[in-house]
Amino acid sequence: MKTDHTQKEPRTPQDVSLKAGLYLVPTPIGNLRDLTFRALDILAGVDLIICEDTRVTGKLMKAFGLKKPMRVYNDHSNERDRAHVIKVISEGESVALVSDAGTPLISDPGYKLVRQAIVEGIEVTALPGANAVLPALQLSGLPSDAFSFIGFLPARSGPRKALLEKWHDRPGTLICYETAPRLLESLKDIKKVLGDRPAAIARELTKLYEEVKREKLSVLIEGLEKNGPPKGEIVVVIGENKAEDAETAGGETIEKQLLAALKTLSVRDAAEMVAGATGKPKKAIYMLALKLSGKA
C-alpha cells in the first residue's frame, strides 16, 4: 500500500485499495490513541481480520467505528487454519493479523503463519507500532544501545533459572515479559542467577497507572516483599553484567576476592572457592576468573 504523504490531516482512514496479502497490524497496549493512521487504514481496508479473540478486537474496531469480518487465529491454530488463511489470500483477499494488544508475533501468535506465507510467495507487510518492549527499555534508564528480548520467563523456577543461565554472559540490557503474580519469584531467580544487577519494572505502560521503578534487583525484591504483588502488566528490564559492578560480599568485591585467590590458586580452584564463599553461579565466577587471569 502506498501512503499519500500529501494528505495533511489524516484523521479518518484513507480509502485504500489493498493488494492481496498478509498485513501484520500492531494495536494499542493501553492507550487507544497509539493506533497508527496506517493501522487504521489497513483495518478499514482489509477483507478479513484474524485475531486472538474476536471480542477483544471487536471492541477495538467499535472504538474506531469499523466493522469487518473476523476469524480467530491464536496459539491453538493449526496447519489447517494456516492453510485456510493462505488460500483466502491466494484467492485475492487482504488479511490483517492482530493480537489482543501490541505487535503480532512478539510473544503473540503469527510466526508460523508468516513463515508459511513467505514459503507460499505471499506478500507480507509489517506495520511498526505499539509494543511493550521498546517503551520499557526507553524508560528504564538502562543502556539502550544493545539489548536482548527474552520473551516470557518460564513459569517454574527450575526451567526459569536454567534459561537465565544461558543469558548470563550476554552483553547488553536484557528485557522480559512477566506476570504480576510471578514477578517476585522471578526477580529472586534473576538475582540468584545473574547477580544483583540494576533493573527496572515497567508497569501498565501507556495506561492511567503507568509506573516505572528503577532499582537494584535486591531493592525491587524488598519492595515487593513488603507491599505484595503489583497489579497490571509488567516488563522487566535488567542491566548488563559488568565486572566493575560486581557485588560486594563481606565488604570486598567478587573481583577483589578472585584476584587474591588467583595469586595462589588455579583459575578453576579460585573460581570454586569464591563461588562457594559468595553463593554466586560457578560458571559466571569461572568466566570472570578466566578474564582476570588473562586467559579468557
Lookup: cell for 287: 568466566
Asked whether 80 and 86 are in contact (CB, 8 A), the reply is no
DSSP H/E element including 38? helix 37-45
Please tell me whether residue 175 binds ligand SAM under the rule CB under 6 A: no
Query: Per-residue contact track with ligand SAM, 135 to 174, x per CB under 6 A?
Result: ----------------------------------------
Find the binding residues for ligand SAM in span 189-208 (CB under 6 A): 202-207
The three cell numbers locating residue 145: 544501545
Q: Is position 77 an interface residue for ligand SAM (rule: CB under 6 A)? A: no
Among 235, 258, 270, 292, the residue binding ligand SAM under the rule CB under 6 A is 235
CB neighbours (10 Å) of residue 40?
Answer: 19
When asked if residue 106 is in the footprint of ligand SAM (CB under 6 A), the reply is yes
Restricted to residues 13-72, the positions that interact with ligand SAM (CB under 6 A) are 29-30
Q: Does 233 bind ligand SAM (CB under 6 A)?
A: yes
In terms of phi and psi (left: phi > 0; alpha: psi -120 to 50; beta: otherwise), the region of 268 is alpha
Taking the complex as a whole, the smallest distance from the CB of residue 251 to ligand SAM amounts, in Å, to 37
Beta 211-216 vs 198-203: how paired, if at all?
Answer: antiparallel
Residue closer to ligand SAM by CB (options 64, 149) is 149
Burial of 276 (0-12, 13-18, 19+ CB in 10 A): exposed
Stretch of 211-219, 232-240, 244-252, 257-265 contacting ligand SAM, by CB under 6 A: 232-240
Q: Are 49 and 95 in contact (CB under 8 A)?
A: yes
Which range in 7-15, 102-110, 166-174, 273-281 contacts ligand SAM by CB under 6 A?
102-110
For residues 174 and 187, give the distance between their C-alpha atoms in angstroms, rounded to a whole number: 13
Query: Does 213 contact ligand SAM by CB under 6 A?
Result: no
Among 46, 49, 61, 101, binds ligand SAM (CB under 6 A): 101
Stretch that binds ligand SAM, among 67-75, 97-105, 242-250, 256-264 (CB under 6 A): 97-105
Please state at what angle helix 111-119 crosses helix 79-90, rounded to 10 degrees: 50
- Show Cβ contacts of residue 65 under 8 Å, excluding neighbours closer than 6 positions: none
Among 58, 36, 221, 204, residue whose Cα is nearest residue 126: 36
Using the rule CB under 6 A, which residue among 77, 94, 131, 278 binds ligand SAM?
131
Instruction: Name the site residues for ligand SAM (rule: CB under 6 A).
Output: 29-30, 99, 101-103, 106-108, 131-133, 177-179, 202-207, 233-235
